[in-house]
């Protein structure tokens, strides 16, 4: 497999078992800094499982066993000395369904900084504004920061969740099918925002939607049955796939 | 027919009719209590019967019914009052023995501080020098009001001032006892002298107050009413004995309504008189509400913490399942068992230990080693803890996993997630549990009877003596009050209306407590309502 420039995440021989089921089978993959990397593939192919390995969200599921290594900035994140909550502060995550806390927009965004112990109101206001600007939500909600986040539309809620992740100033932002519950207009807004985000963050996105991967990502990995079938430059992968299975999938012959 | 059953309609009818039956029973119960309970404050007309044997009877009609075991004829139950003279408050009069009846406009009903009501005719008043003067209703009222002020003064003197001196003296006596147990030395002697001087001063004050009090009593006894009873005999009644005097037969509707409201207010805000059968129930309402509050303060943290551990930390294994089943079963244990446990554990073990350590000098009379509002509340807290645990667990499970994940993904630990996201969202569930617990606790009587409820508490658990909150004190409770008034009082017949009214008050207190909690819960629900997406 071709080396990617400036890899910040190195995954080598990653195997993941749910009990006795092998969910990921020997994944080798590098993720480049300040690029958007997309994972595509049919349902149950392991792409979500892989992205959840990157901030160890799989730890919360019982019976998960992992072999191989994932290094972020050269350090193995499954090393016993790694503090999981510290790791999650560096690797932010946005989920499939918008899951804002039942609090105000403001409280949602500053949740992470508050957990980190930021108490000064000025600092929190500042963080909130910056994160909402980056999440392209500031103009829509600046007048109602202290309204419940649950009163927003789905797309806005998802951007609140993105702002919430960004407010932690993470190195990497993971997005697990962030648009699957949204309509096309909301999706377009989030995609525009992702391209903006690339300037500051390394972004990894899992998506069902191949057009989305083609539109926003720099690199794309195609997964099937727990294996990484092909991983390449996005244009390359979509125009000249090297594997038959990839071609079948992107041309819609199955999946 | 077969089609009819297949259509499903019969099941709708079946379910609807069982709902109707339930509703009817509840409504019937509440209506009965309302009618019986709210009627008693209304001034009833006084009837004057002339009987065939030449005697006359005066009283309020309280019931009319067919004579049992006889073919025809009715009889009337008359409240004749004057228990000190007739021995009984009620008398049955068969209709065929009545010659005539009238409603004399000048017949008075008198509520007395002792011996229940008196019915008769106001004849006059005996003044200071023994002269008898004729008197009208209005004039009598003036005397009664004057005496009421006097009575208030006497109560103030007895309860607040003399009570306060007694309280101080008791404390000083305990200090003396403590000092006596120390090895004698100059310092001890000095202190002892100081305390003794204070006791002497208090005693002097006590005597002063006592003289004042006996003077007041003297003044109170000066004037006496002369009341002519139905039979014509005259009876002397000290004005001081009269709580209120009224002529129901000449009162119009507005006067009666005013009278009703005054009586109603007295019922809610006053202390009971006459072995609880007259007067108000304020101490019982106060005791019930305070007990429920103390219970809530104890049970909510305990239940919530238990549920959080069981749900969030313990995991799903054999032991946690056993614990969960046991907690649920605990809710079915008869309450008297909890009462016995409370007596043995809280009162004898913990209370006894507290007495031995902190209140040694006042032994052998116990301070915490006897029933009291704290122990009763804690016993009830134990009784209701399963309710809170179960509903908190339900509240916790209702918080979606995605919200927790969102918090974990932001680097929050499990505790931070619980504290900042999960618990606030489970708050409505927790409050539902609290509401259920409060309702259960307010209605419970059996365990209270052995952990601190009394039929008449001399003082409320909150007063003006330091430290203001006296958790070791015995208290009164509406549920027990119902039992006591209805079944334990010397004058059960006269107390029946009181039972209904007290029941109404208990239901109403529970209702108010619940509505408050429900309003709080709904506010929280609105605040933490689930995402609609």
pLDDT tens digits for range B56-78: 888 888 888 888 887 778 888 88
Confirm or reject contact between A113 and chain B (CB < 8 A): no
In angstroms, the separation between the Cα of residue B421 and the nearest Cα of chain A is 7
CB contact (8 A) between residue A85 and residue B421: no
The closest of B209, B210, B180 to B195, measured between CA atoms, is B180
Pairing of β A202-206 and β A36-40: parallel
**Mean pLDDT, chain B, integer:** 85
* Dihedral sign (CA B31, B32, B33, B39): positive
Give the best residue of B404, B406, B532 to mutate against chain A (max A CB count within 10 A). B406
In angstroms, the separation between the Cα of residue A88 and the nearest Cα of chain B is 5
| Alpha helices per DSSP H over B244-351 | 253-269, 282-308, 318-330, 335-342
CB-CB: which of B410, B413, B532 is closest to A112? B410
- Taking CB atoms and an 8 Å cutoff, what residues of chain A touch B533? 97-98, 153-154, 157, 181
Give the pLDDT score at A254. 65
**Separation in Å, CA B312 to CA B316, B393, B405, B503:** 10, 9, 14, 42
Angle at B373 between CA B368 and CA B377, to 5 degrees: 110
Q: 3-class DSSP state for residue B343?
A: helix
Counts for chain A of helices (H) and strands (E), in that order: 11, 10
d(CA B307, CA B435): 16
Confirm or reject contact between A92 and chain B (CB < 8 A): yes
Burial class (CB in 10 A: 0-12, 13-18, 19+), B351: buried
- Taking CB atoms and an 8 Å cutoff, what residues of chain B touch A107? none
Q: Going along chain A, which residue ranges are E strands?
A: 7-18, 21-32, 36-40, 64-72, 75-76, 91-94, 172-176, 202-206, 219-224, 227-233
d(CA B59, CA B76): 11
Report A:11-70 residues touching B (Cβ under 8 A). Answer: 55, 57, 60
Give the pLDDT score at A2. 53
Give the pLDDT score at B447. 92
CB contact (8 A) between residue B529 and residue A102: yes
- Taking CB atoms and an 8 Å cutoff, what residues of chain B touch A86? 411
**Cβ neighbours for B326, distance < 8 A, ≥ 6 positions apart:** none
CB contact (8 A) between residue A157 and residue B533: yes
Averaged in consecutive runs of 10 residues, what is the pLDDT profile of chain B (533 residues)? Answer: 81 93 95 86 88 87 82 84 82 86 88 85 78 75 81 82 83 81 81 85 88 84 83 83 86 90 88 78 90 93 93 87 90 91 91 83 76 91 92 90 88 88 88 88 90 82 76 87 85 81 88 86 73 38
Give the best residue of A53, A63, A84, A115 to mutate against chain B (max B CB count within 10 A). A115
CB contact (8 A) between residue A99 and residue B527: no
Q: Token match 């629900």: residue? A: B525
Give the pLDDT score at B533. 34
CB contact (8 A) between residue A88 and residue B411: yes
CB-CB: which of A60, A95, A154 is closest to B406? A95
d(CA A76, CA A66): 13
Angle at A130 between CA A125 and CA A132, to 5 degrees: 95
Q: Would you state the structure tokens that stand for residue B152, as one six-digit string?
A: 């208030």
Q: For B265-285, give one letter per residue: b (16+ CB within 10 A) or e.
A: ebbeeebbbbebbbbbbbbbb
d(CA B64, CA B74): 7
Angle at A170 between CA A169 and CA A174, to 5 degrees: 135
Q: For A67-89, give one letter per residue: b (16+ CB within 10 A) or e.
A: ebebbbeeeebbeeeeebbebbb
Q: Are B267 and B276 in contact (CB under 8 A)?
A: no
Q: Would you state the structure tokens that stand for residue B365, as one six-digit string?
A: 């009379």
Find residue A71's DSSP bridge partners.
Answer: A10, A76
Give the best residue of B312, B315, B402, B409 to mutate against chain A (max A CB count within 10 A). B409
**Cβ neighbours for A163, distance < 8 A, ≥ 6 positions apart:** A108, A109, A128, A131, A132, A134, A135, A137
Q: 3-class DSSP state for residue A13?
A: strand
| Alpha helices per DSSP H over B444-477 | 446-449
Q: Would you state the structure tokens that stand for residue B274, as one six-digit string?
A: 């006459």
Pairing of β B117-126 and β A7-18: unpaired
Neighbours of B316 (CB within 10 A): 9
Please tell me which residue of chain A has the smallest CA distance to B527.
A102
**Separation in Å, CA A108 to CA A32, A140, A170, B89, B396:** 29, 16, 16, 71, 20
- Taking CB atoms and an 8 Å cutoff, what residues of chain A touch B530? 102, 150
A72-95 confidence digits (pLDDT tens) = 888 888 888 888 888 888 899 999
Please tell me which residue of chain A has the smallest CA distance to B405.
A57
Q: Which helix (H) or strand (E) holds B110?
A: strand B107-112
CB contact (8 A) between residue B527 and residue A148: yes
Q: 3-class DSSP state for residue B478?
A: helix
Q: Which helix (H) or strand (E) holds B111?
A: strand B107-112
**Cβ neighbours for B127, distance < 8 A, ≥ 6 positions apart:** B133, B222, B223
d(CA B72, CA B96): 10
**Separation in Å, CA B125 to CA B9, B187, B215:** 76, 63, 21
CB-CB: which of A95, A114, A148 is closest to B405? A95
CB contact (8 A) between residue A111 and residue B420: yes
Give the pLDDT score at B532. 39
A149-190 confidence digits (pLDDT tens) = 888 888 889 889 989 998 988 889 999 888 887 888 888 888
In angstroms, the separation between the Cα of residue B455 and the nearest Cα of chain A is 49
Indicate whether this complex's ipTM tops 0.85. Answer: yes
- Taking CB atoms and an 8 Å cutoff, what residues of chain B touch A165? 409-410
Give the pLDDT score at B342. 92
Q: Would you state the structure tokens that stand for residue B136, as one six-digit string?
A: 């009208």
Give the phi and the psi of residue B110 in degrees, each rounded to 5.
Answer: -125, 125
Give the pLDDT score at B387. 92
- Taking CB atoms and an 8 Å cutoff, what residues of chain B touch A88? 408-411
State the DSSP code for B123: E
The closest of B118, B115, B119, B61 to B92, measured between CA atoms, is B61
Give how far the C-alpha of residue A105 lies from the chain's centroid of Cα atoms, to the nearest Å: 21
């Amino acid at each position: 497999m071709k080396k990617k420039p400036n890899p910040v995440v190195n995954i080598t021989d990653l195997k993941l078992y749910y009990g006795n089921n092998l969910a990921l089978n020997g994944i080798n993959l590098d993720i480049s800094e300040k690029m958007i990397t997309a994972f595509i593939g049919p349902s149950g192919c392991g792409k979500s499982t892989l992205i959840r390995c990157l901030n160890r969200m799989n730890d919360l599921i019982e019976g998960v066993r992992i072999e191989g290594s994932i290094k972020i900035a050269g350090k193995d994140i499954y090393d016993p000395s790694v503090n999981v909550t510290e790791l999650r502060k560096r690797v932010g995550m946005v989920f499939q369904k918008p899951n804002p806390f039942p609090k105000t927009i403001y409280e949602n965004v500053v949740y992470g900084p508050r957990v980190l112990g930021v108490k000064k109101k000025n600092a929190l206001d500042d963080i909130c504004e910056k994160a909402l600007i980056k999440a392209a939500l500031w103009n829509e909600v600046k007048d109602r920061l202290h309204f419940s986040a649950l009163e927003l539309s789905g797309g806005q809620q998802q951007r609140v969740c993105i702002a919430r992740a960004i407010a932690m100033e993470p190195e990497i932002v993971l997005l697990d099918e962030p648009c699957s519950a949204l309509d096309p207009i909301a999706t377009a807004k989030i995609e525009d925002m992702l391209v903006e985000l690339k300037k500051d963050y390394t972004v990894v996105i899992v998506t069902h939607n191949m057009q989305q991967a083609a539109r926003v990502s720099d690199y794309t990995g195609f997964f099937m049955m727990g294996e990484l079938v092909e991983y390449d430059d996005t244009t390359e992968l979509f125009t000249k796939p090297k594997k038959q299975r990839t071609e079948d999938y992107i041309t819609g012959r199955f999946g | 027919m077969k089609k009819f059953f297949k259509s499903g309609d019969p099941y709708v009818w079946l379910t609807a009719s069982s709902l109707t039956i339930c509703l009817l029973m509840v409504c019937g119960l509440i209506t009965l209590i309302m009618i019986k309970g709210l009627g008693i404050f209304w001034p009833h007309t006084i009837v004057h019967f002339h009987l065939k044997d030449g005697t006359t009877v005066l009283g309020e009609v309280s019931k009319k019914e067919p004579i049992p075991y006889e073919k025809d004829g009715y009889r009337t139950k008359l409240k004749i009052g004057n228990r000190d003279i007739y021995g009984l408050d009620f008398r049955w009069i068969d209709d065929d023995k009545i010659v005539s009846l009238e409603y004399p406009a000048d017949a008075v009903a008198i509520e007395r501080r002792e011996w229940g009501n008196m019915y008769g005719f106001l004849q006059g008043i005996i003044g200071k020098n023994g002269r008898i003067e004729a008197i009208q209703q209005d004039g009598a009222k003036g005397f009664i009001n004057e005496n009421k002020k006097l009575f208030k003064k006497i109560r103030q003197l007895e309860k607040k001032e003399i009570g306060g001196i007694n309280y101080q003296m008791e404390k000083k006596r305990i200090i003396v006892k403590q000092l006596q147990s120390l090895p004698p030395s100059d310092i001890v002697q000095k202190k002892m002298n100081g305390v003794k001087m204070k006791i002497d001063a208090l005693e002097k004050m006590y005597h002063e107050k006592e003289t004042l009090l006996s003077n007041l009593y003297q003044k109170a006894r000066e004037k006496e009413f002369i009341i002519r009873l139905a039979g014509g005999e005259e009876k002397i009644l000290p004005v001081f004995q009269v709580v209120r005097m009224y002529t129901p037969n000449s009162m119009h509707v507005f006067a009666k309504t005013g009278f009703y409201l005054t009586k109603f207010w007295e019922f809610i805000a006053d202390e009971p008189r006459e072995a609880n059968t007259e007067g108000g129930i304020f101490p019982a309402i106060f005791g019930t509400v305070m007990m429920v509050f103390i219970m809530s303060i104890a049970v909510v943290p305990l239940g919530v913490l238990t549920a959080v551990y069981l749900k969030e930390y313990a995991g799903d294994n054999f032991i946690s399942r056993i614990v969960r089943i046991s907690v649920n079963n605990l809710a079915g244990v008869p309450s008297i068992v909890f009462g016995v446990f409370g007596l043995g554990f809280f009162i004898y073990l913990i209370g006894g230990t507290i007495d031995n350590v902190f209140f040694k000098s006042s032994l052998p009379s116990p301070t915490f080693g006897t029933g009291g509002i704290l122990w009763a509340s804690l016993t009830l807290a134990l009784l209701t803890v399963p309710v809170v645990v179960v509903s908190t667990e339900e509240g916790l499970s209702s918080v979606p996993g995605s919200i927790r994940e969102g918090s974990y993904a932001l680097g929050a630990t499990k505790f931070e997630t619980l504290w900042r996201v999960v618990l606030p969202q489970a708050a409505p569930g927790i409050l539902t549990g609290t509401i259920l617990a409060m309702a259960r606790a307010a209605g419970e009587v059996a365990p209270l009877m052995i952990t601190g409820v009394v039929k008449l508490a001399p003082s409320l658990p909150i007063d003006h003596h330091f430290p203001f909150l006296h958790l070791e004190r015995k208290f009164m409770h509406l549920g027990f009050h119902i039992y006591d008034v209805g079944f334990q009082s010397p004058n059960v017949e006269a107390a029946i209306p009181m039972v209904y009214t007290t029941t109404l008050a208990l239901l109403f207190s529970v209702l108010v407590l619940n509505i408050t909690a429900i309003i709080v819960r709904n506010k929280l629900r609105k605040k933490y309502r689930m995402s609609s997406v």
